[in-house]
Amino acid sequence: MLAQQNGPSEYQLKAAFLFNFAKFVDWPPGSFAGPKSPFVICILGPDPFGQTIDDTLRGQTMDSRPVTVLRVQDPPQLRRCQVAFVGATEAGHLPAIVQALRGANVLLVGETPGFAAAGGAIQFEMRDRHIRFSINPAAAERAGLRVSSKLLSLATIVRDGDGSGKG
């Protein structure tokens, strides 16, 4: 009974957000290896989600493509993903991650302060015990992605270099 009263965990909510962000982003046709290729959400480095993200996304589809979750250890592996989540432990490597994804149609999402201003597309933030998010439209555009105005209207908009730019 207590588990129900506590509601979903932070990472259950973030897993749902990752999936829902994808619904409001347009990927170019060349983003996928083929018409039956899965929609891939990747987690770089140590996985803060655990089984939660697998359970949350099991059986989900994105534009008729099955959603798959991959855990990767090296930034270049993120090029085969549509959404890449960069946990707090990897924040110090953000410049190398952004460089590894140059020219790739990957939505880069993170959770450390300054992530969006330093080149990430979407940054999770905890404010008043609620998950909020910021979007850097220029970062999404550099990845060849178009973010829906509906999603932009729900976010804090960040420009390259806003804030400290450090994690």
Supply angle C-alpha 129, 130, 135, rounded to 5.
135
pLDDT at 132 exceeding the cut of 70 = yes
Q: Give residue 166's pLDDT.
A: 36
Annotated domain spans of the chain:
2-23+36-156
pTM (predicted TM-score): 0.91
Fold of 2-23+36-156: Rossmann fold (3.40.50)
Note the Cα 133 to chain centre separation in Å.
Answer: 11
Q: Give residue 1's pLDDT.
A: 37
- Retrieve residue 80's tokens: 């085969």
Q: Sign of the CA dihedral 137, 24, 98, 100?
A: negative
Residue range 122-144: mean pLDDT, rounded: 95
Q: Which stretches of the chain are DSSP H helices?
A: 2-6, 10-23, 51-57, 94-100, 137-142, 149-154
Note the Cα 134 to chain centre separation in Å.
Answer: 11
Mean pLDDT score of the chain, rounded to an integer? 90
Q: Among candidates 55, 46, 45, 43, which has minimal Cα distance to 12? A: 55
Q: What are the pLDDT digits (tens) for 27-45? A: 998 889 888 899 999 999 9
Supply angle C-alpha 22, 148, 88, rounded to 5.
50
User: Coil, strand, or helix at residue 65?
Assistant: strand
Q: Give residue 103's pLDDT.
A: 92
pLDDT at 63 exceeding the cut of 70 = yes
- Compute CA distances 154 → 51, 126, 133, whole Å: 28, 15, 8
Whether the CB-CB separation of 114 and 163 falls below 8 Å is answered with yes
If one compares 4 and 157, the residue with the highest pLDDT of the two is: 157
Q: What are the pLDDT digits (tens) for 68-106? A: 999 999 999 999 999 999 999 998 899 999 999 999 999
Q: Give residue 34's pLDDT.
A: 87
Q: How far apart are CA 101 and CA 31, in angstroms?
A: 13
Q: How confident is the model at residue 162 (pLDDT cuts 50, 70, 90)?
A: low
